[in-house]
Structure 1
């Protein structure tokens, strides 16, 4: 397992490092800076860079390559690199792309226009590039794990983490549901009026997904998270494949943590007003949500593979 993950991480580093060098040499498609469609350049931590930064990307990829192939170094270097690739480089657009995808899939069925939005709008190249960075970070993290199973992730810790992950998003959910109902919870009446064209309905949609995700998180500690319930035709009574829960839960943990870190950066930069706390404060707690969900997910996985 470790050998396969290490090789995959090494291949990723080799290819991405080559891409960084190619950008520095003039290849179009550099995903940050002037070519990024982000209107104000405030989302990405690399928004101020130019294609010449590709040389630094190549150097970073070379370090990743060496780390993936050198097992002794991975314990000290792999995790910081993985954190940078998974949590620092991506931004909140990763979560927005995931949120828009179900709407874009069903919109033609119901005749919804969605303001002319397309998959290209939800997943422009700079956001797809973020997925590539996350992939590289996860491969390197898998390489560093090396098949070891930490005793830290106990069932008790998993249960507590699941409860935290189910409760934290409710503050965000309450504000967005309130706005959809015309209640200015945490914002001014003027702010609320800015979204009367349907924006708050989309916010309520996101909030509902967050609440449902909280309920599903509890499944990581319940029997119905291991055995399909009776009301599911064709699957009732069968064991739930661990990865069926682990992969989506792990990915959601990443994207909500990344989005929360983006809001924290904006808060530190003074982009928000205190009297409009409903528009930003709930999101600042998302890294706690993501960490709790990740903890519950790892605990679930270890419990399942040990049983």
Structure 2
């Protein structure tokens, strides 16, 4: 099989590309991660069965009201399905449509379960972290809040999101193999790549996605900064003053993180996102590593989706999603978080399509 093969040709029987012969490291990591999760879930299930204690790590997300034993059993089943799917993606050889459909449906179900188990804990942790790291240098009470990042709920939700990402990556690589495309870059070996994946096309729709992905956190961040300054933007003055007396770090940290993220998101389509600008000493004029832009954007996109869904459900259940002048700022922006997640993921993918260059596995590009 060569790169000069005529378009739309089928692969010769028994032949594979260099990308297909490469070790399936992503799939292997997914198998190990989900198998370890299954083992921990079974150990935890045994502990719950012998001494019924409410596990703090599971007392979050949309399923927090489910009985402890039921939820723990469900998590074990969730991990078992995830590990089985990852194993099939790693070692499965069947090219039949039936097994592939079953795996695809199973993967979607597992990813949906991951969303149900996660709330805004991880996203809030990411939002608070910059301010906490700075202020912890001068304040012992703030330093104590770093314990949040080793708390059971934060660790579990982070593990669930990491497992979801690993499984999604394994699923994408498996799907690429099934349509005779390079596992690493996604380019088809017959040259029949979709027109929307070309650099020029990705630049066009990626710009739109980046603008949407920047506007939503900017809107959210402005409300939080306004509250920190005592301005009742979308919130009653009494509520703002009460919040400022109790927790000023929250709105400052989340607002600053959101505004900084909005600015950085614009780099996914602007030149300074491809080449370091002149004012960055030592790096001016050099190319920005693709991963330096794609990885953080992907992390935020993954954390935002379950956070937004949980905030919407919580807001609806507690009547916090009103649109009047004194309530819309509290949880109203969360309605846009799922859109933010999808737009940011699309913008990051478009950036990668523009800058991926020749593939080291298959040589195309």
TM-score higher than 0.5 = yes
Corresponding residue of 2:103:
74
* Runs of 5+ unmatched residues, structure 1: none
Relative to 1, partners in 2 of residues 1:299 and 1:88: Cα closer, same or farther, differing over 3 Å?
farther
Report matched runs for 1:58-137 at 5 Å: 58-71=76-89, 72=100, 73-85=102-114, 87-109=115-137, 111-114=138-141, 117-137=144-164
8 Å CA contact retained: 1:2, 1:143: no
Distance in 2 separating the partners of 1:286 and 1:273: 14
Report matched runs for 1:172-187 at 5 Å: 172-187=220-235
Relative to 1, partners in 2 of residues 1:103 and 1:187: Cα closer, same or farther, differing over 3 Å?
closer
Q: Match of 2:356, SS? A: helix
Residue 295 (structure 1) aligned with residue 323 (structure 2): no
Corresponding residue of 1:145:
172
Relative to 1, partners in 2 of residues 1:75 and 1:303: Cα closer, same or farther, differing over 3 Å?
farther
Relative to 1, partners in 2 of residues 1:176 and 1:15: Cα closer, same or farther, differing over 3 Å?
same
Distance in 2 separating the partners of 1:42 and 1:277: 24
Residue 236 (structure 1) aligned with residue 284 (structure 2): yes
Structure 1 residue 280: Cα displacement: 0.9
* Runs of 5+ unmatched residues, structure 2: 1-21, 90-99, 174-182, 188-192, 359-365
Distance in 2 separating the partners of 1:54 and 1:37: 10
Larger radius of gyration: 2
Distance in 2 separating the partners of 1:216 and 1:77: 35
Distance in 1 separating the partners of 2:118 and 2:299: 13
Q: Match of 1:237, SS? A: coil
Give CA deviations for 1:168-217 in whole Å, capped at 9, x if unaligned. 12322232222222221222222122113263453133212211211111
8 Å CA contact retained: 1:26, 1:51: no
Corresponding residue of 2:75:
57
Residue 23 (structure 1) aligned with residue 16 (structure 2): no
The one of 270, 279, 300 aligned to 2:318: 270
Residue 9 (structure 1) aligned with residue 30 (structure 2): yes
Of 171-180 and 125-134, more deviation after overlay is shown by: 171-180
Distance in 2 separating the partners of 1:306 and 1:293: 21
Distance in 2 separating the partners of 1:192 and 1:93: 22
Structure 1 residue 265: Cα displacement: 0.7
Structure 1 residue 220: Cα displacement: 0.8
Structure 1 residue 60: Cα displacement: 2.1
Of 75-84 and 287-296, more deviation after overlay is shown by: 75-84
Report matched runs for 1:184-199 at 5 Å: 184-197=232-245, 199=247
Of 267-276 and 206-215, more deviation after overlay is shown by: 267-276
Q: Match of 1:235, SS? A: coil
8 Å CA contact retained: 2:216, 2:336: yes
